Amino acid sequence: MLPYLTAPNLDLPVRPLTQDAFAEFGTVVENPEGATGRSQQLKVVKANQGSALKYIDVSHVSNYYHLAPSGNPAKAVMNMFVCSPRQLQSTSSGSDITQDRPSKFPVQILERHPFTPQTFIPLGLAAVDATTAYLVIVAPTCKTTDKPLPYPQHAPKQQRSWTEIFSRAQPSPVDNSTSSPAASGPEPQLPKGPGEPDLSRACAFLANGSQAVTYGPGTWHAPMVVLGAKAIGFVVIQYANDVGLEDCQEMEIRTETGSEGLNVVIDNARLSPKLQEKAKL
């Protein structure tokens, strides 16, 4: 049986997915050209004989498994999740989803990966794809907990692997680089601590197909919620050591009697007509 939290009526509005809005929880990975909501500039150099721009350290794949209780070493893994569309519910009993009436998605489970970030990269979608998108649902960690789970109790000392050292190195003449870095990228996030999710500060974002997302180590998040016409294949990159609770911890979100629980409420006017149609029950 999973540990659980009981949620009162909590409605999360959906916001556009931008780096500034998401910074507490991780990193948004997208083409910086035309991206909005990013106050921090990335390092950029020319590469590939001047035919490309290389943005440095757009996200981080950090390994904190040296803090795990088992001591089992982890390895970098790359998996694929093919996520089918999830259906939305009407916010009015017995009513169909329409453009002038919000719809909702009930959040019934949150999970976290205590010792590793986790990056989801959607395949085969573009920013202008009007038929498919996905929700990113996250929650901060409470500072105290009555139900501790295996987790690092102290902020770890940052360690740099050879991969990180070389990835941070300046491009060599072979890359045909002619410019120097102009700014710093996002810093690696540390694990969040042993607490349960703070539902009162949960957030929901609407992502398009040109955006990948990295959940910081220990960030509580819902399983991927795809909206629209078709399944999305996500390449998922993280570390893992094959020890159950050290790789993934889950928290069931239950509903009080007479309460509607934790729901993401979506203003359908913000969805394209095609996306609205495909998300109906």
pLDDT band at residue 86 under the 50/70/90 scheme: very high
C-alpha span between 197 and 217 (Å, rounded): 14
pLDDT band at residue 235 under the 50/70/90 scheme: very high
CATH class of 4-38+64-155+189-278: mainly beta
Residue with tokens 């690696």, as numbered in its chain: 188
Query: Most confidently modeled of 38-42, 149-153, 246-250, 256-260?
Result: 246-250
Q: Tokens representing 202?
A: 């949960």
CB distance 179 to 170 below 8 Å: no
Domain boundaries, the chain: 4-38+64-155+189-278
CB distance 8 to 256 below 8 Å: yes
Residue 101 has a pLDDT of: 75
Residue 183 has a pLDDT of: 55
Structure confidence by residue, pLDDT tens digits, 134-172: 999 999 999 766 655 656 544 444 555 544 433 444 434
DSSP 8-state symbol, 221: E
Residue 170 has a pLDDT of: 41
> Which residues does residue 184 pair with via DSSP β-bridges, in sequence order?
none
Structure confidence by residue, pLDDT tens digits, 167-203: 444 434 334 343 444 455 678 899 998 899 999 999 9
